Amino acid sequence: KNEVEQSPQNLTAQEGEFITINCSYSVGISALHWLQQHPGGGIVSLFMLSSGKKKHGRLIATINIQEKHSSLHITASHPRDSAVYICAVSGNTDKLIFGTGTRLQVFP
């Protein structure tokens, strides 16, 4: 069983839609990371959180430690949001354990 599970694996949306990507993990963590990977392959860190909620522009990340669950929300989605969104966790060391990613396509 994967230590980090994401759903859905693939997601398509129309421009303007509200998007939610979910992440569940089975290990104890010190922090959870949301990352974005574009078609060229580069990885960009979006959020690092250990409790509560963080917001940056149209992106919101929440985490529920008790339920071992996090969500990434994108409000007013845009075609430029099309990418793979990856959830990763760090435990008692700082190495990241990655999920398999959610491929998002936003159509105009």
| Binding pattern for the stretch 51-90 against other proteins, x by CB under 8 A and - elsewhere | -----------------------------------x-x-x
How many residues line the site for other proteins (CB under 8 A)?
Answer: 24
Q: Is 92 in the site for other proteins (CB under 8 A)?
A: no
> Cis (ω within 30 of 0) for the bond into 39?
no
> Count of CB atoms within 10 A of residue 94's CB?
8
Give the HSE-up count for residue 33: Cα atoms under 13 Å, Cβ half-sphere. Answer: 17
Q: Which positions lie near other proteins, rule CB under 8 A?
A: 31, 33, 35, 40-48, 86, 88, 90, 93-101
